[in-house]
Amino acid sequence: MFEVVVRTAAPVADGVKLLELVTADGRPLPPFVAGDHIVVELGARLRRSYSLIGPPCADAMAYRVAVALNPAGRGGSIAAHALQPGQSVRISPPASGFPLVRTAAPTILIAGGIGITPMVAMVHQLMAWAAPWRLHYAFRSPAAAAFVDELVGLGSRDPGAASLYPDDAAGRPTLDVAKIVSDAPADAHLYCCGPEPMLDAFLDACRAHDERRVHIERFAAPDDTPISTDRSGPHEDQHLTVQLARSGRMISVAPQESILEALLDAGESVDFSCMEGICGSCRTRVVEGIPEHRDAVLTDSERAAGDAIMICCSRAKGDRLVLDI
C-alpha cells in the first residue's frame, strides 16, 4: 500500500462519484492494463477494490475510479463518497482480477449499473488493438448511467458498437442477456459485470460455452447478502487451526470467525479488500488441508483443485489448514 492524494471527487451520475487519485509529488503511478483494480484503504479494516477507468497506460499520471453509493452497505461506499480533494488515502498497486484477453475474435461486454467501470478501460484497450467489440450497458435511468458520452464516443466509428438499455417505465430491465449470448459468435469472448441477477442470467446462458471464453466480475449489489456472513456451514461449530507455512506459526480460528479475521487479530499482514468473497484480493495458496469454498471468485475447476482459498469467507472441511503465508 502507498499514499496518494485525491485530486478530484465529483459526481458523474446519480449516486456515483468519480475519484481521481495522484501522487503528492507529481510522479507517475504504476502502470495498469484493462481489467485491473486497486484496493483503497478507507478505514481500519475497511478496504474496497475499485476498477481502474480510462485508457490503460505505462505512465499513468492519475488513477480514475467510480464508486456507487450504497447507504445500506457495510460502509465502504459511504467512506469513499466522503473523500474530498486534497485528502490522502492509501492504495495498492494495480492488480488483475478481470483480465482482458487479446484475440482476433469478437469481444462481447455486458455491464449493469456500476459494473460499467471495468468495461471503460476494456473498450479503450480494444480500440487501441483495433479489435472487434460490442458493449451492452444496462442501467436504471439515463441519470444513473455513468460514462455514456465517453463510451458512445469511442464507438462512434462503428455505429451500434455500444448499445444502451435503460429500464422500462415500470423499472424492469430491458437487456436480454440470454439473447446477447446466443447471438454471439461461437469464438467470442464474453465478459459480464453487474448485479447478481444479471450475472446469474449470464452464467446460465453461457453453460454451453467454453469456460475459458466466459469472464465475470462481481460487486456487492445493494440487496446482496454478503457471502462472509453466511456462517451456517457444517464446520462452523468447530475450531480450525491454520498453520502459516513460511513461519510455522499456528493460528486458532474460532467458530463463527473467518480465517482473515483471525490472522488480522494475530497481527499478520495479509492482502484483503471486500471481506465477502467477491474480489479475490485475499486469495491464498493451500499447502495442506481441504478448503470448504464459499466465495464467488473461483471457477469449478479451481475449486476442485483445492489449492487456493479466499480466507475472508471460506473455511476447511477438516480442523486444520496449512497456508502459504
Sign of the Cα torsion 36, 42, 47, 48 reads negative
Query: What does the alpha-carbon distance between residue 84 and residue 63 come to, in Å, rounded to a whole number?
Result: 15
Could you give the CA distance from residue 292 to residue 288 in angstroms, rounded to a whole number? 13
So what's the pLDDT on residue 75?
86
Q: What are the strands, taking DSSP E only, across the chain?
A: 2-13, 16-22, 36-43, 46-51, 63-68, 88-91, 95-96, 107-112, 133-139, 162-166, 189-194, 214-218, 240-244, 250-253, 283-288, 291-292, 308-310, 315-316, 320-323
Residue 178: which of 161, 157, 198 has the closest Cα?
198
d(CA 5, CA 89): 6
> What is the separation of C-alpha 141 from the centre of its chain, rounded to a whole number of angstroms?
23
How does pLDDT run across 145-158, given as a tens digit for each residue? 999 999 988 877 78
Q: Which residues of the chain have pLDDT under 70?
A: 220-237
pTM: 0.80
Residue 238: what pLDDT?
A: 77
Distance of CA 49 to the CA centre of its chain: 6
- For the stretch 165-175, pLDDT in tens is 999 999 999 99
pLDDT value for 157: 77
Using alpha carbons, list the distances in angstroms from residue 253 to 64, 66, 120, 260.
38, 35, 40, 9
CA separation for the pair 42, 45 (Å, rounded): 8
Alpha-carbon distance of 267 to 261, in angstroms, equals 10
Helix, strand, coil percent values for the chain (each to nearest 5): 20, 30, 45
Q: What is the pLDDT of residue 229?
A: 39
Residue 103 CA to residue 125 CA, distance in Å, equals: 12
Alpha-carbon distance of 154 to 137, in angstroms, equals 14
Model confidence over 177-220: pLDDT tens digits?
A: 999 999 999 999 999 999 999 999 999 999 989 989 999 998 75
The pLDDT assigned to 222 comes to 35
Asked if 321 and 243 touch (Cβ cutoff 8 Å), the reply is yes
pLDDT reported for residue 132: 94
